[in-house]
């Protein structure tokens, strides 16, 4: 059946795109932003958090679990071993990336969005940054690892 291969390919492409995005943040973007002073850092992250909410990102972010589930369901009817691998991959990705984003990174982004950086004194800016930065980076590293793991597993079953 061709539908399962198309669904798998789109899921793999989306997982890879998301892994690349999170990886780029982990190894470059947050390191560069980390060198900014507190208010500049907070403003930059506010702007990034607004800019990323665009149709392309939202399609990739929301589409990935959808296509993973689709590929998993299609394999249920065709290949038990493939189904079990896709189920595991889907759980790895949805748990380690989608849920971490929704339950950890998004609330931090919402907290940051509520801050009026221009009105913060230096101590308050430092406190806001302290509450946000290390937690956000930690959760981003987690979703980076899980998205790379899911991507690698998908490549592994594609070449076997």
What's the per-residue H, E or C state across the chain? CHHHHHHHHHHHHHHHHHHHHHHHHHHHHHHHHCCCCHHHHHHHHHHHHHHCCCHHHHHHHHHHHHHHHHHHHHHHCCCHHHHHHHHHHHHHHHHHHHHHHHHHHHHHHHHHHCCCHHHCCHHHHHHHHHHHHHHHHHHHHHHHHHHHHHHHHHHHHHHC
With a cut of 90, say whether residue 1 has pLDDT above it. Answer: no
pLDDT digits (tens, 9 = 90+) for 55-110: 999 999 999 999 999 999 999 989 889 999 999 999 999 999 999 999 999 999 99
Task: Report the pLDDT value the prediction gives residue 160, as an integer from 0 to 100.
Answer: 82
Please state the pTM of the whole predicted model.
0.94
């Amino acid at each position: 059946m061709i539908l399962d291969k198309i669904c798998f390919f789109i899921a793999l492409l989306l997982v890879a795109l998301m892994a690349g995005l999170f990886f780029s943040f982990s190894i470059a973007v947050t390191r560069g932003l980390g060198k900014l002073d507190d208010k500049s850092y907070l403003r930059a992250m506010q702007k990034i958090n607004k800019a990323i909410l665009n149709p392309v990102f939202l399609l990739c972010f929301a589409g990935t679990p959808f296509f993973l589930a689709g590929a998993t369901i299609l394999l249920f009817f065709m290949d038990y071993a493939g189904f079990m691998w896709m189920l595991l991959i889907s759980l790895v990705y949805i748990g380690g990336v989608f849920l971490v984003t929704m339950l950890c990174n998004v609330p931090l982004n919402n907290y940051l969005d509520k801050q009026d950086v221009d009105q913060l004194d230096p101590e308050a800016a430092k406190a806001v940054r302290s509450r946000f930065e290390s937690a956000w980076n930690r959760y981003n590293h987690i979703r980076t690892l899980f998205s790379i793991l899911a991507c690698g597993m998908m490549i592994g079953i594609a070449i076997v």
